[in-house]
Amino acid sequence: MTSPLLSGPHAIHGAVAGDGSDAAVAAHYGQPTAEQRALADGQAVVDLSHRGVVTVTGPDRMTWLNVLSSQKLDTVPPGTSTETLFLDIQGRIEFDCHLIDDGETVWLTVEPGENAGLTDWLTKMVFASRVEVADRTDDIAVVGATAEVPGWDERDDVVRWIDPWPAIAEGGFPYTVDPDPAQHPGAQWSWSEYLVPAAVLESIQTELPEGWKVAGTLASEALRIAAVRPRHGVDTDDRTIPHEIDIVRTAVHLAKGCYKGQETIARVHNLGHPPRRLAFLQLDGSGHTLPAPGSEIVVRGDEPESARSTGTVTSVAQHHEMGPIALAILKRNTDPEAELLIREGDAENGWSFTAATQETVVSPQAGKVVGRQTGFLRGGPR
């Protein structure tokens, strides 16, 4: 469903629709750079009303979700923001959920279009548990912000999820080269999702404090990419396992009980290496356009037209300070020191190349922790 801020009587003047999975909301409202700066400064919100919202109520809600998902949830106190995954039997990510329990209701938000599938699957898993599952996407809107929106935390009709990234949750483990969260590229990342009634979104400009504005998804995506915060369905595909994108740190508890996909999680962590790895790219800014997500990546050499692909661009943005940046999924054995080229086009219509400098995020040596003197688990604040 298209956002009311993009079309209709509540549309904001100058709104330009996004593309891909963000087509239902605005990419920007006429000033993308100014909007990004305002968002970075904590003076703007982003319409994310296309995100799916699913609720679980009932006395068994947290223990039931604990059995089904990758995160240990049965001991999480109300008001705690966390992330959890529902995996397939091979450990591949099916749903990446932002989760918070307000004491009566568990709120789960997922990527656009995933709410129906998640609701259906959870409903089929109820059996004798005292829970009720509901799809609330049509009446609850998600609004993103990098800072607390003054006055909103005190409202009874608003729930706030605070992103734990890149802290290492209890039972989690970092797959970065430097395990210290303070040294992570996203160490200064601050992000919240406010779950508000749809009516609040429709009147958002009067609901915001003085001096605040509404920014588009170009702004939020640029800040997300700079923080190396992977996004399900954008930086992942149907083969992705959590280790490849470093969300074992926030979304997986390595010492909890059995759940679907746990065998793969444990096997890769203890005995193997993830086959691919997340990387950050700083792009050559001399071109007039940004490379498209999905473009192939090759190691720079004498014949880049025929070189074998070593990875794929997944997210691209123009950052207001860093310039053109991207996230990519590379083969694990790609040399971390190699200069890369992003390849677009074909032999018939001509090739184009964009130079890219890689910053290693997930280490090529990540995984296979058995025998490490540093221990099995790392703990951090929830």
Q: Which residues pair with 297 in a beta bridge?
A: 311, 342
What average pLDDT score do residues 135-154 get? Answer: 98
- 366: closest CA among 281, 272, 280, 279? 272
In this prediction, residue 370 carries a pLDDT of: 55
Q: State the span(s) of the chain assigned CATH 3.30.1360.120.
A: 16-243
pLDDT digits (tens, 9 = 90+) for 25-40: 999 999 999 999 999 9
pTM for this model (two decimals): 0.95
Q: Which of 382, 334, 379, 316 is nearest to 174 (CA)?
A: 379
Q: What is the token pair recorded at 207?
A: 């609901």
Measure the CA–CA gap between 127 and 113, rounded to whole angstroms: 25
Domain 276-360 has CATH 2.40.30.110: yes
Domain 16-243 has CATH 3.40.50.1820: no
- 3-class SS at 153? coil
Within the chain, all domains assigned CATH 2.40.30.110 are found at 276-360
Read off the pLDDT of residues 173-228 as tens digits, 9 standing for 90 and up: 999 989 999 999 999 999 999 999 999 999 999 999 999 999 999 999 999 999 99
Nearest residue to 258 (alpha-carbon basis) of 91, 371, 101: 91
